Amino acid sequence: MIASHNSWSYLSPRRIWMYLVAPFSRCQSKSIDGQLALGVRMFDMRIKILGSKVYLAHGLMEFEITPMLADLVKIRDIEGCSIRILLENRNPDDDSVKIFQKTVASLKAQYPTIQWFGGHGAHGSDWCRHYVCLLPSPSYAEDHASVSARGLWRILPRIYAICSNKKIKGTSHDLPVMIDFVEL
């Protein structure tokens, strides 16, 4: 099974200047409908807390959360879907962590047919040990996404996907494989 890395990064950024970093932060170009049509059943959601407001995010790009809520209704109705949810803030304060915890609890309650996992920071920080809502994780392989690549591949997810996805998809995997640009 193919899983999508940074599944909502196809959305339009919430600020104009964020388009400048899109080549480095965008990991998907297909909507969730498009990803579902390609057989994706495992998704990757990154949440960023700014003040008291919740956004989807990846790196410096932030996205409004409203489109994701409509997508969750579609995902909820498909059997066997799971979503990894991570906090994208690099050094969150206590209030941000509390808002993230509430967000995770709310999403789990509203969409109980989705298997939620993760529930920690996207960046291996010390604060992770303070987060008390870690969710059990199914097995999956993330080492095929650009995030695990070296050098320039790491910062150019589309180029990495163009060069790597065909080989990755052609290899048999026992676990779901989380990749960038699932259509390539």
DSSP code per residue over 50-115 = ETTEEEEEETTEEE-SHHHHHHHHHHHTSTT-EEEEEE--SS--HHHHHHHHHHHHHHHHH-TTSE
pLDDT tens figures, 21-43 = 999 999 999 999 999 999 999 99
Total domains in the chain come to 1
132 backbone dihedrals φ, ψ, rounded to 5°? -100, 10
Q: Is the pTM of this model over 0.85?
A: yes
61 found inside a domain: yes
Q: How far is CA 135 from the centre of its chain?
A: 15
CATH number at residue 18: 3.20.20.190
Q: Is the pLDDT of residue 48 over 70?
A: yes
Asked if the structure places residue 179 within a domain, the reply is: no
In a domain, 105, yes or no: yes
Residue 21 falls inside a structural domain: yes
Q: Is residue 19 part of a domain?
A: yes
Dump pLDDT digits (tens) for 129-172.
445 466 777 777 776 777 677 776 677 899 889 988 888 887 76
Q: What is the pLDDT of residues 54-95, one digit of tens each?
A: 999 998 999 999 999 999 999 999 999 999 999 998 888 889
Does 144 reside within a domain?
no
Give residue 106's domain range.
2-135
Task: Measure the CA–CA gap between 24 and 156, rounded to whole angstroms.
Answer: 5
Residue 56 near residue 14 (C-beta atoms within 8 A): no
User: Is 167 within the bounds of a domain?
Assistant: no
CA torsion angle 37 43 49 55 (round to 10): 0
Express as a percent the part of the chain with pLDDT over 90.
59
User: Does some domain include residue 177?
Assistant: no
The reported pLDDT for the residue numbered 122 is 67
